[in-house]
Amino acid sequence: MSTPTLDKHSSALDAAEVTDAHLITITLRIRRFNPEVAADAEWVDYQLAVDPKERVLDALHKVKWEIDGSLTFRRSCAHGICGSDAMRINGKNRLACKTLIKDINPDKPITVEAIKGLTVLKDLVVDMDPFFQAYRDVMPFLITKGNEPTRERLQSAEDRERFDDTTKCILCAACTSSCPVFWNDGQYFGPAAIVNAHRFIFDSRDEAGEQRLEILNDKDGVWRCRTTFNCTDACPRGIEVTKAIQEVKRALITRRF
Ligand code: SF4
Ligand code: FES
């Protein structure tokens, strides 16, 4: 009895053809900026073959690794956790690692640019310092008085639920950089800082809620919010950002939290 033999070479080719059959050609239109080369940013088109089930981050990697190594962008985890690759994709703030090419009309050029309202340093990289300064200003850590407890601080499930939504923030800045108030005046604390203040103001174990409320009672604080909901639409974690801001406003009026 003869044993069927596999032609390794042709099966490898077949596999490549099957894989290639999934590929489509897209145009990635990236807003490039290098202050060492030119004073103004410009749109540059890159054509590449991708699987539509790949993510915009994969396409950016292809451009960087195979076409132009000077392309600059931030990314780390590639799984929607670190918050470092927020960018404007087809005019909307999204995480490149969570955006599938098939979901953003690959028949037309896909535009990719830096998030708005923060100074662009190079290509898709912005200066995040003002964003993190606002975050630090609201004291995003548990503050308590008195002696250290000898056992863990207890909290009921209901009390934990009170701020569950705002614990999900990954500090990607998609919300803050989608806010028209922040675009016009970068002094505004911005949605992300308020979300992170909310996370502690409504934590029953924390004892600095009043202090945080006073910080946000500032002219650049919560009252600047115009309830446009851009922040809620932009949040890749599905946090109800506008609702959190409204709750902080209400706590300021009622002093109940
Ligand atoms: S609230 Fe959402 S959009 Fe804003 S920084 Fe946090 S995760 Fe990003
Ligand atoms: S690379 Fe970490 S969130 Fe996208």
Q: What is the DSSP letter of 90?
A: T
pLDDT over 90 (residue 5): no
Identify the weakest region by mean pLDDT among 15-19, 153-157, 186-190, 192-196: 15-19
> Does 99 contact ligand 2 (Cβ within 6 A)?
no
Would you say the CB of residue 190 lies under 6 angstroms from ligand 2?
no
The ligand that comes nearest to the alpha carbon of residue 93 is 1
84 lines ligand 2 (CB under 6 A): yes
> What are 55's strand-pairing partners?
100
Strand partners, 165: none
Nearest to 216 by CA among 241, 193, 199: 193
Assess whether pLDDT exceeds 50 at residue 178. yes
Residues with CB under 6 A from ligand 1: 83, 169-175, 191-192, 195, 234-235, 237, 239, 241
Question: Residue 126 carries which side chain, given as an amino acid letter?
Answer: V
- Ligand 1: centre distance to CA 148 (Å): 32
The atom number, within ligand 2, closest to the CA of 80 reads 3
User: What pLDDT does 20 receive?
Assistant: 77
d(CA 232, CA 178): 9
pLDDT tens digit string along 61-72? Answer: 999 999 999 999
Share of the chain above pLDDT 90, in %: 87
**pLDDT average, residue stretch 220-234:** 95
Contact criterion met (CB below 8 Å) for 177 and 92: no
- Kindly report the backbone phi and psi dihedral angles of residue 150, in degrees, each rounded to the nearest multiple of 5, phi listed first: -90, -5
Spacing, Cα 24 to ligand 2 middle (Å): 24
Ligand nearest to the CA of 58: 2
Count of other CB atoms within 10 angstroms of residue 148: 5
Nearest-angstrom CA–CA distance, 104 and 90: 8
What pLDDT score was predicted for residue 3? 43
CA of 77 to the centre of ligand 2 (A): 5
> Six-digit token pair at 93?
């703030």
Place of tokens 């994709």: 89
Ligand nearest to the CA of 56: 2
* Residue 24 Cβ < 6 Å to ligand 2: no
The DSSP symbol for 56 reads H
pLDDT exceeds cutoff 70 at 1? no
Return the DSSP state at 48.
Answer: E
The pLDDT value recorded for residue 185 is 81
Residue 176 pLDDT > 90: yes
* 136-170 tens-digit pLDDT: 999 999 999 988 889 999 999 999 999 999 999 99
* Separation of alpha carbons 257 and 245, rounded Å: 13
CA 57 to ligand 2 center in whole angstroms:
9
Nearest CA to ligand 1 atom 6: 169
pLDDT-derived band at 15 (thresholds 50, 70, 90) equals low
Quick: pLDDT tens for 84-97: 999 999 999 999 99
Residue 99's pLDDT is: 98
Q: How confident is the model at residue 17 (pLDDT cuts 50, 70, 90)?
A: low
∠ CA 88-33-85, rounded to 5°: 35
Residue 135's contacts (CB-CB under 8 Å, 6 or more residues apart) are 171, 192, 193, 196
pLDDT tens digit string along 23-43? Answer: 999 999 999 999 999 999 999
Of residues 73 and 149, more confidently modeled = 73
CB 175 within 8 A of CB 235: yes
pTM over 0.85: yes
* Ligand with the closest atom to the CA of 76: 2
**Averaged pLDDT for residues 38-60:** 98
